[in-house]
A and B are shown apart, each in its own frame.
Chain A
């Protein structure tokens, strides 16, 4: 069964450094999402992306965050200057288009900011 893959599984970064999290969505999917889950808290929506532009973003997704689909397969989340509070699990999800379709999640990247 096709799946969403995320790399790396664990990223350790010094505060203030830039980090890029990578995702390969399911190949025929059209909508892409990033969510995060701080330890012990709910999974929270960050941003959705369709047709090479952001569809929606939450108030968490401030100027420090950006997303890109640099080629036909990868979908990336960049955090420009990481803060301690950015430490979390980051999940990528994708769905097919054409109205509501369930989202399929990757196994996440654990981001640890030191």
Chain B
């Protein structure tokens, strides 16, 4: 079973729509959950991160974590054409060595159509 599963899309929505992106995972040791945005030919750009279960909101973006279901989501409200990018979920657990290697999903390619 793959550690982190993410539907690669592509996902196409009209401008102003609410976008829902999600990932499932199998490793119950994951404690930290991140969403990165990646534009073409660029590195991953951190959008949000959360610790354990719950919700976190930042402007038009809301991240949700449900550890009991091993399921995380990112919601984008009032989507804009500039939100068109690939969205990567990433997760981490404490290894005891002090560093926190990230395990990524494959990414969902989102297009927001004007």
Contact = CB atoms under 8 A, between A and B. Distances in A.
Contacts of B100: 31, 48, 95, 100, 103
A43 B44 contact: yes
Contacts, number: 68
Nearest to B104: A43
B106 A42 contact: yes
Interface centre among A41, A42, A49, A95 (most CB of B within 10 A): A42
Contacts of A43: 44, 88, 90, 102, 104
Secondary structure type dominating chain A contacts: strand
Interface residues on A, range: 20 to 34
Interface in B27-67: 31-32, 34, 36, 41-46, 49, 51
B109 to A, nearest CB: 11
A56 B49 contact: no
A108 interface: yes
Nearest to B6: A42
Interface in B98-114: 98-107
A31 B98 contact: yes
B101 A100 contact: no
Contact of A104 (B42, B46, B51, B104): B46
A56 B41 contact: no
B43 A41 contact: no
Interface of B: 4, 31-32, 34, 36, 41-46, 49, 51, 88, 90, 92, 94-95, 97-107
26 contacts: A4-B43, A6-B43, A31-B99, A33-B101, A41-B106, A42-B4, A42-B105, A42-B106, A43-B44, A43-B90, A43-B104, A45-B101, A45-B103, A49-B99, A50-B98, A50-B99, A55-B95, A55-B98, A91-B44, A95-B100, A100-B100, A102-B46, A105-B36, A106-B43, A107-B43, A108-B43
Interface of A: 4, 6, 31, 33, 35, 41-45, 48-50, 55-56, 58, 91, 95, 97, 100, 102-108
